[in-house]
Chain A
Amino acid sequence: MRRGKLLSAATGLAAASLALAVLAPVVMSDVDWPTAARDTIAADGYAATGATNLVSAIYLGYRAFDTLGETIVLLVALAGSVALVASTPGRPDLDRDGGPADSRGPGHTDIINVIAGKLAPIVLLFGTYVMLYGHTSPGGGFQGGVVLASGVIFIAIGRRAGGIGRISPSITAFGPRTLSVIEAIAFATVLALSFPGSGAALAGLIEATGASAGVAAKGVAAVGPIIALNIGIGLKVGSGVALLCVMMLGGDQE
C-alpha cells in the first residue's frame, strides 16, 4: 500500500516535470510583446467608447460579448455551487440544535461582533463607488460587484454573531431570496443591453433627457452604455457571489 502510494507520487511528479519541460520554452521565449494593439487602443479607445479607463473600454466596449459569455460562465458555476450546497443532505449546520453553526464557537470574539456590522456600510459604499466610476478610474463591474459581496458578507457575519450593528433578518434586504431576485434582474439587464442597437438606443435616450448634455465632446461615443453594463454586471456578480457565501454561512435557514 505504502509502496503503491510512493510509486504514484513519483509518477505524478514525473508527469508534472514533463509538462513543465514543454511549458518552459514557451514561457522563456525571447519574442517581444507586440505594441500594435496598445498603440491602437491608446489612440482610438476614448473616441470609440467614451471611457477614459482603457481596461473598461476593452472589456465593455470592444469585447462586450466576451464579457457576456464570461458572465454566463459565472452564472452557471454559481448556480451549480448553490444547488450543491442547498441540496446536500445532513448538513452539520442544521444538525446542531437550531442556530447557525458557530454563533457560540470559540472563534467568535468581541472584535468580530463589533467590527463586522459597522464595517458593512463603508464597504458597501466603496463597492458602489468602484462600480459606478469604472469608466474613468480603476474599477468596474466585476471589482465593484466583488466588493459589494464582501459588504453583504459582513452584514451576514454581524447578524449571525448577534453583536452590535446587527440587522434583524425580518427587515434586512440581504436575505438569500432578495439576492437571487436581484441577480436575476441584473442578468436580464445585461442580456437586454447586449442586443444589437440597445446600447445606441440607451445612449440616445440619455441624450434626449439631457442628462449627459455637455459631457461628451464632439466625435466621442457616449459612455452611458458602459456605465449601464457596469451597474448590471456589478449587481449580478455581487448578488451571485454574496448569495453563495450567505448560503455557506448558513443564512438560508432564516
Chain B
Amino acid sequence: MIEAILAIVVAASIYAILARDLLHGVIALSVTSVLSASIFFLASAPDVAITEAAVGAGLSTIIFVWAIRNTERTDRS
C-alpha cells in the first residue's frame, strides 16, 4: 500500500519538475503533499500527517500560486 502511494508521489514530483506550465506543477506538488500525508497516517504518525496536510496542501500551495501570479506562468527554458 505504502509502496504504491510512494510510487504515485514520485511520478507526480517528476511531472511537477518537468511541466512547462508552472501552475500544473503546483497542483502536482499539492497532490504529492496529500498523498504523503496518507503515507504518514499509514505509518502511524498522525501528528506528522496533520502537519503535512495543513502545510503542504494548504499554505505552500497559496505561497506558490502567489509567486506564479506575480511573475510568469510558463517555464520558458
Q: Do chains A and B touch in the complex (CB under 8 A)?
A: yes
Q: Is A53 an interface residue (CB 8 A)?
A: yes
Mask of B11-35 contacts with A, CB within 8 angstroms, 1/0:
0000000000000000000000000
In residues 234-254 of chain A, which contact B (Cβ within 8 Å)?
A: 241, 244-245, 248-249
Number of B residues with CB within 8 Å of any CB on chain A: 15
A187 at the interface (CB under 8 A from B): no
Report the count of interface residues on A (CB-CB < 8 A).
25
Please choose the segment from A26-34, A110-118, A138-146, A225-233 that sits at the chain B interface, where 4 or more of its residues have CB less than 8 A away: A138-146
Chain B residue with Cβ nearest A146? B54
Cβ contact within 8 Å between A55 and B47 = yes
> A245 touching B59 by the CB < 8 A rule?
yes
Contacting pair B58 A150 (CB below 8 A): yes
Q: How far is the CB of B75 from chain A (nearest CB, A)?
A: 14
The contact of A143 among B51, B62, B69, B70, by CB within 8 Å, is B51
Minimum Cβ distance to chain B for residue A220 (Å): 21
B54 → chain A closest CB, angstroms: 4
Whether A146 lies near B58 (C-beta < 8 A) is: yes
A193 within 8 A of B: no
CB-contacts of A172-189 with B (<8 A): none
- Contact A143/B58 with A92-B70, A248-B63, A249-B66 known, Cβ cut-off 8 Å: no
Which of B47, B59, B62, B77 is A140 in contact with, Cβ under 8 Å? Answer: B47
**Closest CB of chain B to A58's CB: distance in Å?**
10
- CB neighbours of A140 from chain B (8 A): 47
Confirm or deny: B50 has a beta carbon within 8 angstroms of a beta carbon on chain A: yes
A130 within 8 A of B: yes
Which chain B residue lies CB-closest to A53? B47
Report A227 CB to chain B, min CB distance, Å.
16
Closest to A245 in B: B62
At the interface, yes or no: A222 with Cβ under 8 Å from chain B? no
| Contact call B63/A245, Cβ cutoff below 8 A | yes
Alpha-carbon distance A147/B57, docked complex (angstroms): 11
Q: Are B47 and A146 neighbours in the complex by a CB distance under 8 Å? A: no
Residues on the B chain within 8 Å of A130, using CB = 50
Tell me if A153 and B51 are in contact (CB < 8 A): no
Q: Shortest CB–CB separation between residue A33 and chain B, in angstroms?
A: 13
Given the complex, which residues of A lie within 8 Å of B77, measured CB to CB? 5
Q: List 11 A-B contacts (CB under 8 A).
A: A53-B47, A138-B47, A143-B50, A146-B51, A146-B58, A146-B59, A147-B54, A153-B58, A241-B59, A244-B63, A245-B63
16 other contacts beyond A101-B69, A248-B63, with CB at 8 A cut-off?
A56-B47, A138-B47, A138-B49, A139-B50, A140-B47, A143-B50, A143-B54, A146-B51, A146-B54, A147-B50, A149-B59, A150-B58, A153-B58, A244-B63, A245-B62, A248-B66
